[in-house]
Amino acid sequence: MKEILESVRNDPSYLNLWSAYKKIQDLNLTVPEDDTNTVRLAVIGSTTLEPLAACLDVKTRLEGFHVETFVGGFNTYRQEVLDKSSDLYKAKPDVVVLSIDAWSILDKLFLSNFVRMSIKERHAIQNELVDSVHSIVSRLESETSALILVNNFVIPIFTPLGVVDNKQKIGLKRFFESTNNLLADKLEKSSRGFLVDLENIAGAFGKSRMIDWNTWYRGSIPFSNDFTPILADEYVRYVRALKGRTKKCIVLDLDNTLWGGIIGEDGIEGIKLGNTAPGIEYVEFQRSLLSLYNRGIILAVCSKNNLDDALKVFREHPSQVLREEHFAAMRINWQNKAANIAELAKEINIGLDSIVFMDDNPVERAQVSQVHPDVLVVDMPKNPRLYREMIENLNVFDVLSLTSEDMTRGEMYVGKRIRTELEQSATSIEDFLRTLDLKVRINEVNDFDTPRVVQLIGKTNQFNLTTRRYTDAEVSDFRKSDDVAVYSMAVHDKFGDEGVVGVAIVKKKDGDWWIDSFLMSCRVIGRSVETAFLAKIVADAKKTNAVRIIGEYIPTKKNPPASDLYERHGFGMPATSDDNVISWILNLDEQTVDVPEWIELTEV
């Protein structure tokens, strides 16, 4: 297996991907018992989709997942979706790719007769097309808990109306364009249905090369050899986001990365950074970085420089886009970069595998990737004019829903930096916490906060007691159940609002409250809010006359920060089960957990 994947990694051509897929199928692997690393894929639609499924299967494996792939028959997606006992449903997919060719639904003479159709007829056909796809998606939404990835339609290159196509209310191109818009509208509110922008991906690749007419007419294969792996990459973005493999932080070098030249030698007037060439390419690279910052990607600096030289650029250079306030942490010194990055990860409180490192110097890159294989070290182009394209094509920052917490994360980290400075000046930790004016809101999660709760469940690794990943559908089932409570915790202090940063899932059984999941964003570690969170659960349990609270802990490589939570709060009698779950018990008639005096619990 390793060997097969290594050979595709070296040469991810279409033929190699397909060959690897077939070889892996021949191995007849069994499903590992631990499900967390397994992805069940289904690819269905109106054409021959085995090649696309093969590429997606292998590319998902290259991300380190165990994969099972179901490929639907040729144009049998309707039967597969409508028949509850079909193989599609037996495959229990986590992700369903739905690739429907508009021409398979449209009348055979649609193109021929389009010019003669009235506007009304065109609209009617358009609505049929939208409904036809949407009904399939709705059915999949109700029958599975899968993520549903629906290709939108490719706007044809040819139109019989020629250059006056857009002089009509709904010309052929606008017909497809607005069909895509209607589909986007239908799926906008869906938490599991996503419209994959095939039209845009095809455009970026080259529409005239996205199909190979030989294989299309011989075997109804919808995408060319070169395009199929590119499209598969797009689906992998969703898989990574679903499985919480999202990068959260970019660590940036300065000289020849954020600006051209070396600040220590060229001086502030000498570096290339400005609104004309040379220098505009760095400004535009920074603008793209700022766009990512504004949607919640953390930025940090790691540079071999004199601190004062570098800070001068941030503070005084008129064309500098990124300022000190955009960086959660900085390491500007002469230490080796691997050590600096380890420190940055600690300071910002994120895992090394959430970090992307960008540096123009290949030696620095090699050193960092050797010491920290988990860090994504970007192979920067030699040509700085390609930096912007590089970052825009990186596609490793995807999340399945953007919350308000995401949008303001950058500001929160600045608050954190200031807090850290304060902490260092306070004499005791309690004194420090007292100065923060901590306010915590804990309640059973409402509709508004649920997307954020699902997001936290999906991506929190460090302060996560059991690392159980639940889907949107599972969380909503928990919320409906009388025997389960899903709590959310929001934290506020004098430096800002952190929003929802904690989740607990409690299962009630025979007078015992089992804490199935307890997790907290690493942003708020060290502020004792976990104590308040436990105290609230304890208080609620006492109200229902529960006898014991049982907290579960499953150790992983990443969650040592959470390992002593239960012990620290008076839970005892740890017992380890066969599947490595350690359970800690708190007897409610003897023990309790109190809210720390420096935390104020607020109501909704």
Mark 222-251 with x for binding to another protein (rule: CB under 8 A) and - for no binding.
---x--------------------------
Say which amino acid occupies 310.
Answer: A
Residue 27 engages another protein in binding (rule: CB under 8 A):
no
Smallest distance, Å, CB 222 to another protein? 13
- Which residues have C-beta within 8 Å of that of residue 431, sequence separation ≥ 6? none
Residue 212 engages another protein in binding (rule: CB under 8 A):
yes
Angstrom distance (rounded) from CA 109 to CA 399: 41
Residue 19 engages another protein in binding (rule: CB under 8 A):
yes
Residue 75 engages another protein in binding (rule: CB under 8 A):
no
Among 12, 23, 443, 451, binds another protein (CB under 8 A): 23
Contact 88, 80 (CB under 8 A): yes
- In the structure, how many helices (H) and strands (E) does the chain have? 25, 18
Q: In this structure, what are the phi and psi dihedrals at residue 304, rounded to the nearest 5 degrees?
A: -90, 100
Contact 102, 129 (CB under 8 A): yes
Among 2, 10, 15, 543, binds another protein (CB under 8 A): 15
- DSSP secondary structure letters along 94-120: SEEEEE--HHHHS-TTHHHHGGGS-HH
Q: In this structure, what are the phi and psi dihedrals at residue 332, rounded to the nearest 5 degrees?
A: -115, 100
Residues 470-489 close enough to bind another protein by CB under 8 A: none
Q: What is the dihedral of CA 24, 50, 58, 149, to 10 degrees?
A: -140
Mark 51-70 with x for binding to another protein (rule: CB under 8 A) and - for no binding.
x-------------------
Among 5, 16, 76, 361, binds another protein (CB under 8 A): 16
Among 218, 287, 494, 509, binds another protein (CB under 8 A): 218
Per-residue H/E/C for 118-158: CHHHHHHHHHHHHHHHHHHHHHHHHHCCCEEEEECCCCCCC
Residue 334 has which token pair? 């002469």
Q: Which is nearer to another protein, 79 or 214 (CB)?
A: 214
The SS3 assignment for 597 reads coil
Angstrom distance (rounded) from CA 257 to CA 263: 11
Residue 73 engages another protein in binding (rule: CB under 8 A):
no
Angstrom distance (rounded) from CA 546 to CA 119: 66
Smallest distance, Å, CB 19 to another protein? 4
Mark 34-53 with x for binding to another protein (rule: CB under 8 A) and - for no binding.
--------------x-xx--
Strands (E) across 402-479 are located at: 438-444
Q: Which is nearer to another protein, 71 or 328 (CB)?
A: 71
Residue 335 has which token pair? 């230490």
Q: Which is nearer to another protein, 217 or 334 (CB)?
A: 217
Mark 141-160 with x for binding to another protein (rule: CB under 8 A) and - for no binding.
--------------------
Contact window for another protein (CB under 8 A) among 113-121, 173-181, 191-199, 219-227: 219-227
Contact window for another protein (CB under 8 A) among 16-24, 55-63, 171-179, 575-583: 16-24
Q: 143: how many CB neighbours lie within 10 A of its CB?
A: 14
Angstrom distance (rounded) from CA 67 to CA 91: 12
Among 2, 3, 10, 26, binds another protein (CB under 8 A): 26
Among 215, 306, 333, 556, binds another protein (CB under 8 A): 215
Q: Which is nearer to another protein, 214 or 446 (CB)?
A: 214
Residue 9 engages another protein in binding (rule: CB under 8 A):
no
Smallest distance, Å, CB 199 to another protein? 25
- The DSSP call for residue 464 is B
Smallest distance, Å, CB 81 to another protein? 23
Q: Which residues bind another protein (CB under 8 A)?
A: 15-16, 18-19, 22-23, 26, 48, 50-51, 212, 214-215, 218-219, 221, 225
